[in-house]
Amino acid sequence: MYELKFNEDECLSCTTQDCLTRCQYMDIDRDTAKAEILKIAHGEDSFVLHDCVTCYACEEYCPVNNHPFYLIVEKQEELDVPPLPRPLIRRGIQTGIPFRGEPDIEEINGQALDMGVFSDLMYLIQGRLFEGLPVISQDPRKMFHYFCQLMYLHYGRTSVIKERLPGIIQTIAKHNVTEVICFHDECYGTYTSYCPAVGIDVPFKAVHLFEFLYNRLNELKDDINPINLKVAYQRPCSSRLSSDKHHFVRGIFELIGAENVEREYVDENALCCGGTIQGQRREGSRKRAADVQKRNIEDMKNAGAEVCVFNCPACYTTLGSMVAKNGIRPVFMSDLCRLAIGEKPAGWR
């Protein structure tokens, strides 16, 4: 029912093949890149399907917005090239079943914050920044009513997303919301990138958390005291689907008086946290993940970062303790913003 919009003519006319030539995990020249992406489009096997670490980056690199990453993941499923071990895929799909009962629907009539699956992280949305903002999240008794499902791109299972996502969107719409602020980049990317790419209708406006934080900080500008910390931002995979919102990272840092350190692995050149690479359990994957993580953290240290800023809980889980061991404090973006307006986040000393 829902089909990916991939234009082969756009691919043929592309002169750079940035989608694959810029990949930081595969070394591919332009001619090979064009040949392989066309093979994939035609439903043929390609080494790209086997070597892809599902970091989403090619979706941002593509100069013609032709959704190469979504294509790669769809063909991984069609050709049975699982990017993760099969037992992990089966377990993950069962864990993420979105509906195990009817959610309690509260009519909101306006703006709401969608915490998705992260109801255990409510402490990250406390204080004046979020004051008066209705929150929709999973019911711990029934599980995952608002889980966007896009993480199954990492699993090579787009069929699961297409099967479950329309029902989740309908459930959110029942709240009569006009704007949904997405706590996680992946949820925002679901509604603004993936849904249009496959033809799923979204009856509300999705708002990126960083845009919301930036606007709220401007409203509270008189209460901001510069934090005077050197910060490095750990960009998550799913932020590749919302590159037009990435400028809010620098905007927030400027507002709160944080120095955004100059790094090599930043913006479009960012490295992932390595968590998915490690989970792939292919030959050499653990060593490969360790190398990515080492380069990432060394880059932060060399740039003089005092704080590593996260938005993705998975990235925080993967890298948080590692950066701390290297003398860099891990912190979520919302907590860093709260610190600037005089609110001490839990555990901050």
Residues 6+ apart with CB under 8 A from 279: 84, 85, 88
| Cβ-contact 188, 182 below 8 angstroms | yes
Give per-residue burial for 268-292: e unless 16+ CB within 10 Å, then b. eebbbbbbbbbbbeeeebeebbeeb
Spatial separation of the C-alpha atoms in residues 229 and 69, rounded to whole Å: 36
In words, the CATH class of domain 220-340 is: alpha beta
Spatial separation of the C-alpha atoms in residues 309 and 13, rounded to whole Å: 39
Q: Is 110-212's fold the same as 220-340's?
A: yes
Reduce the DSSP state of residue 137 to 3 states and report it: strand
pTM: 0.94
Q: Where are the domains of the chain?
A: 8-78, 110-212, 220-340
3-state percent breakdown (helix, strand, coil) of the chain, nearest 5: 50, 10, 40
- Encode the chain (349 residues) as per-residue pLDDT tens digits: 799 988 999 988 999 999 999 999 999 999 999 999 999 999 999 999 999 999 999 999 999 999 999 999 999 999 999 999 999 999 999 888 887 667 778 888 899 999 988 888 989 999 999 999 999 887 665 555 788 999 999 999 999 999 999 999 999 999 999 999 999 999 999 999 999 999 999 999 999 999 999 999 999 999 999 999 999 999 999 999 999 999 999 999 999 999 999 999 999 999 999 998 888 877 788 899 999 999 999 999 999 999 999 999 999 999 999 999 999 999 999 999 999 999 988 777 6
- Structure tokens, 317: 């889980």
The predicted-structure confidence for 204-223, as pLDDT tens digits, reads as follows 999 999 999 999 999 999 99
The predicted-structure confidence for 260-317, as pLDDT tens digits, reads as follows 999 999 999 999 999 988 888 777 888 999 999 999 999 999 999 999 999 999 999 9
Please say whether the structural domain 110-212 has been given the CATH code 3.40.50: yes
Q: What is the mean pLDDT of the chain?
A: 93
